[in-house]
Structure 1
Amino acid sequence: MARTKHKKVAEVNSLPNVYSRRIQGSLEELKIRISDANDVTLELACGNGEYTTGLAEMYPEKFFIGVDRKSNRIWRGAKTVAENNLTNAAFLISYIEKVELIFQEPKVTNIWIPFPEPYPMHGHRKKRVIHPRYLTIYKRLMKPGGVMHLKTDSEHLYNYAKKICGLMGLAILKTVPDLRNYPELTPEEKIMTRFESDHLRDGRKIYYISFLLDNFDSTKIPKYE
């Protein structure tokens, strides 16, 4: 297992569509690609990058970036991008907190977060990637009208997202408490990740919520969010 992981890490770092502070000059190159793009979508905690690759195939005129802190996780997605010559997709090895360093201006129109760690304990809530401290970062990256998308098998995280939207006055666009039994899914919502497939096989529900950050104000975060 360790040998396979190390092999994937070495291969990922050699792929032209992968960017990291450890790869000399790569972040500057990614900044240029973002600057040249009119429409950027991020997939955060992307793992295999099913949304990055799937959306890149759907929308060749847009630019998609999958972000994950572990290089071995993005191996499959980065290989798919290279094998299919998807010139409008890339992967960034980074913590989410550092992503804004590669943006010189708001460029993001959509952020997808599929199946993040839910951190159900209240004391760990600040680790949730939809906690207001993360939304503060996303707000700085997004164009007006930019949309947040969360997919999760955690009812707790789904309800927390709805709670945050209510507390912060954020406009909710869509809530689906059982995605696979919902009759009107968009092509984007139909994209299936490995985690989603596993969860469905186990009989779990998939929850989905999308919302806007236009009204988000980081100076008005409730004390007991």
Structure 2
Amino acid sequence: MGKDKLRRFRENKSFANLYETPFSQVHGKDHPLKGLWGMEVFGNNNPITLELGCGKGEYTLALARGDRLQNYIGVDIKGARLWRGAKTALEEKLEHVAFIRTRIELIDSFFAPGEVSAIWITFPDPQPRKENKRLTAPRFLERYLKFLRPGAVIHLKTDNRPLHDYTREIVERRPDFILLQADTDIYRHRKVPDMVLEVKTFYEEMFLREGKPITYLQFSTGLPATGSPAGGPAAPEPVADDDAVPR
């Protein structure tokens, strides 16, 4: 292991906004902050948005810079990558941002029912040979449902068309999700929310230079009484589909 990575691991332990918990303490057990993230960590009860597999936290940070009325938590297992996101959040005094180092398989140990309003999954590993490891596989969606509030929105942004199609198929056949938007080339059609177009990760920039189309899915756990997905903008009429766009 390189000296720089070791230095980052040591520095991570000093970051007040980075939560690292040993596997043994959350495997089959609740994290001490489960149900308490709002008041104990952020000092408010604002909606919480997660970025799963956040890497350096590029989306977490970008969303947080533009919205201080929600709390943002990036989640990843790679400590050296989280170091960058946590350090930047501290430098920019983004007090409504936190990071968790853990496996996504354990995510339901960290959050209580109804505690999370939205999830972003940006450019995850498509796992072409291991369907069960995809972050939108049914076993992961079941975990998310344990802590998402009614009307919570899940966003998937990827360059991988098979992952996009796979996820859409799963969402459309499940009664506990509503597909809100599907687009297989967001920069060509430009019909997605502004934040989807304006925020670009390192990998997205690389894929765009390679000429790869970027896809997007938005789906919710259902609509609350107000008619708007919790933690997000008013829902479009299901489904806003790029297939209807002239080519």
Band of TM-score, shorter chain: 0.7 to 0.9
Q: Any idea what the Cα deviations from partners look like across 1:49-82, whole Å, max 9, x if unmatched?
A: 1111111111112111000011111122111101
Task: Please show how residues 143-162 of structure 1 align to structure 2 within 5 Å.
Answer: 143-162=149-168
Counterpart Cα distance in 1 of 2:34 and 2:8:
22
Counterpart Cα distance in 2 of 1:125 and 1:29:
31
1:32 aligns to 2:36 (yes or no): yes
- Equivalent residue, structure 2, for 1:173: 180
Q: Share of identical aligned residues, percent?
A: 35
Q: Which runs of 5+ in 2 are unaligned?
A: 26-30, 224-247
Deviation for aligned residue 1:113: 0.3
* Greater CA drift, 5-14 or 196-205: 5-14
Change (3 A) 1:182 1:76: farther
- Equivalent residue, structure 1, for 2:238: none
- Equivalent residue, structure 1, for 2:227: none
Q: State the SS of the aligned residue for 1:73.
A: helix
Counterpart Cα distance in 2 of 1:17 and 1:182:
38
Deviation for aligned residue 1:83: 0.5
Q: Any idea what the Cα deviations from partners look like across 1:188-207, whole Å, max 9, x if unmatched?
A: 21211111111111111111
| Pairs aligned (count) | 210
For residue 183 of structure 2, what is the amino acid of its counterpart? V
Contact map agreement 1:19 1:30 (CA 8 A) in 2: no
Q: State the SS of the aligned residue for 2:152.
A: strand
- Indicate the RMSD between aligned Cα atoms, in angstroms: 2.0
1:126 to 128, 132, 143: 132
Deviation for aligned residue 1:19: 0.5
2:201 to 163, 178, 193: 193
Task: Please show how residues 1-225 of structure 1 align to structure 2 within 5 Å.
Answer: 2-22=2-22, 28=32, 32-35=36-39, 36-121=44-129, 124-169=130-175, 170-189=177-196, 190-214=198-222
Change (3 A) 1:168 1:105: closer
* Greater CA drift, 54-63 or 149-158: 54-63
Q: Any idea what the Cα deviations from partners look like across 1:15-63, whole Å, max 9, x if unmatched?
A: 11100115x9xx6468533354331100000001111111111111211
Deviation for aligned residue 1:158: 0.4
Counterpart Cα distance in 2 of 1:106 and 1:31:
9
For residue 4 of structure 1, what is the amino acid of its counterpart? D
Deviation for aligned residue 1:105: 3.1
Deviation for aligned residue 1:10: 1.6
